[in-house]
Amino acid sequence: MYDHHKPTYHFAAPAGWMNDPNGPLWFEGYYHLFYQYNPTGDSWENIHWGHARSRDLLRWEHLPPALAPSPELGELHCFSGCAVVDRDTPVILYTSVGEGERNARSGAEQRLARSLDGMRTWRKYPAPILTNAIHDTPVTDWRDPFVWRENGQWNLLLGGGRNGGGCITLYHSSNLIDWRYCGVFFENPAYHFLECPNLLRFGDKSVLIYSPDEEVRYHIGFINSTGQFENEKTGVLDYSGKRGFYAPNTLLNDPAGRYITWGWITEKSRKGYPIQGYNGALSLPRILALNASGDITQTPAQEIDGLFAELTEEAEFSLVGGERQFKTRGRELEITLNFNPAENDDFSFNVYQSPDNRECTRIHYNGERRELSLEKAASTLAVEPAKDAQRGKLSGDCRSLRVFLDHSIIEIFAGDQAAISGRVYPVLEASQGLSISGRIRGARVRIISTGNSIVE
């Protein structure tokens, strides 16, 4: 049976469960993606590292899993981590988890694997490269290595918690095997743990990203003389958390010099709604940068333009009330809305809309509150999926929205300053309409399809 909730152009595993993106890496002409993967079912268990590669960030070739749990090493799961190239040799660093004393909360180990055949197979180092014994105070939920090389040494961040609050710890090494603990890099007592740390360097500025079991946070600041992160500005990377975008990981060695980030697009909002052999996907690749004002920006990678080949509709208009319907209908679309911002703007771009309006998902913009929301109260007639709204604040005037629809996935970019991602599960086959309603001036809409749209 055709499943009109299954994404088509967002990256996903061939089948089964997937979650965090792991170790994105450029190597010998290919972008490589790894991800948390259960090849034997569509629920979380038996965690491997799935593996795929692409020359263009659009078309992915699935490869055999890179890592599988090794019972002889006490492993039940190969948790998240990163990948680097060490003197032409690809290396994976990951968190190894078992049961009993090797449980995820207090018994995790950090391990390493190398590939000597161009990333086709991986050989694990026989001993852990780090254990919790290295710390003065034990770190709980200690996981998700993130490694970069700078000033002739390897630097490693790990997430976790200690003394009741979230922390990120720092380590140095000359060879990726022998590590020195350098102390706590960053702490946030508002959370019990911090996971999936990323650090991006922009000259004397750094951006620290982590996932605290809710919306992904970022901090803009610098590393002080004692090797700790000093925060200057804080924000939310995507107003979704585990309802949409979580646990991002960043490719550091793009030949074009970009920071390319993927996040896990979860199925959390599905709740009890039936799964059909798959679970989870990844966001579109996003480019992270700092602008001239020192604010973080995120935009879809330019390669994404190659996904959409068919311009289906363009329109210019203003509304002071009522609703304007568009001719295009579909579930695989890119929509760009430009407008002249005013404080009294208050409009909804309506997607996945049925002709009788029994199903409709609303992308709501309020100029007075400078708020963007994904409103799902009428998104499906099914009773199981979550229907609570996802809301985000905008730091300044918003002049454009860029929206990607991929069956059950919605990714929304408010200019380059904010993003919201989510899942919705309309059940009516006819829920493919588009409209806009409310107050908006100088609107210019452009709708592009992958080729699977209908124009009435």
Q: What is the mean pLDDT of residues 78-96?
A: 98
Q: Tell me the three-class secondary structure of the chain, residue by residue.
A: CCCCCCCCCCCCCCCEEEEEEEEEEEECCEEEEEEEEECCCCCCCCCEEEEEEECCCCCCEEEEEEECCCHHHCCCEEEEEEEEEECCEEEEEEEEECCHHHCCCCCCEEEEEECCCCCCCCEECCCCCECHHHCCCCCEEEEEEEEEEECCEEEEEEEEEECCEEEEEEEEECCCCCEEEEEEEEEECCCCCEEEEEEEEECCEEEEEEECCCCEEEEEEEECCCCCEEEEEEEEEECCHHHCEEEEEEECCCCCCCEEEEEEECCHHHCCCCCCCEECEECCCEEEEECCCCCEEEEECHHHHHHCCEEEEEEEEEEEEEEEECCEEECEEEEEEECCCCCCCEEEEEEEECCCCCCCEEEEEECCCCEEEEECCCCCCCCCCCCCCEEEECCCCCCEEEEEEECCEEEEEECCCEEEEEECCCCCCCCCEEEEEEEEEEEEEEEEECCCEEEC
With respect to residue 5, please indicate whether it lies within any of the assigned structural domains. no
Instruction: List, for residues 146-189, the tens digit of each pLDDT value.
Output: 999 999 999 999 999 999 999 999 999 999 999 999 999 999 99
With respect to residue 3, please indicate whether it lies within any of the assigned structural domains. no
Whether residues 181 and 330 share a domain: the answer is: no
* Domain-ending residue, one of 278, 303, 328: 303
With respect to residue 7, please indicate whether it lies within any of the assigned structural domains. no
Q: What is the mean pLDDT of residues 215-224?
A: 97
**At which residue do the structure tokens 């001036």 appear?**
441
The overall average pLDDT reported for the chain is: 95
Whether residues 265 and 367 share a domain: the answer is: no
Coil, helix or strand at residue 71: helix
Whether residues 192 and 282 share a domain: the answer is: yes
Whether residues 355 and 413 share a domain: the answer is: yes
With respect to residue 439, please indicate whether it lies within any of the assigned structural domains. yes
Whether residues 299 and 328 share a domain: the answer is: no
* Total number of domains in the chain: 2
CATH code for position 155:
2.115.10.20
Q: What is the mean pLDDT of residues 300-327?
A: 94
pTM of structure:
0.96
Give the per-residue pLDDT at 456. 56
With respect to residue 429, please indicate whether it lies within any of the assigned structural domains. yes
State which residues form the domain around 387.
308-455
With respect to residue 4, please indicate whether it lies within any of the assigned structural domains. no
CATH code for position 451:
2.60.120.560
Contact 331, 357 (CB under 8 A): no
Whether residues 167 and 289 share a domain: the answer is: yes
* Domain-ending residue, one of 303, 323, 347: 303
Whether residues 314 and 437 share a domain: the answer is: yes
**At which residue do the structure tokens 């090849």 appear?**
39
With respect to residue 1, please indicate whether it lies within any of the assigned structural domains. no
Whether residues 246 and 170 share a domain: the answer is: yes
Instruction: List, for residues 280-291, the tens digit of each pLDDT value.
Output: 999 999 999 999
Return the amino acid letter for 356. D
Instruction: List, for residues 246-269, the tens digit of each pLDDT value.
Output: 999 999 999 999 999 999 999 999
Whether residues 240 and 349 share a domain: the answer is: no
With respect to residue 10, please indicate whether it lies within any of the assigned structural domains. no
Instruction: Please check the confidence at residue 2 and state whether its pLDDT lies above 70.
Output: no
Whether residues 321 and 289 share a domain: the answer is: no
Whether residues 360 and 426 share a domain: the answer is: yes
Coil, helix or strand at residue 366: strand
Which H or E run includes 158? strand 153-162
Whether residues 47 and 116 share a domain: the answer is: yes
Instruction: Please check the confidence at residue 1 and state whether its pLDDT lies above 60.
Output: no
* Domain-ending residue, one of 236, 268, 303: 303
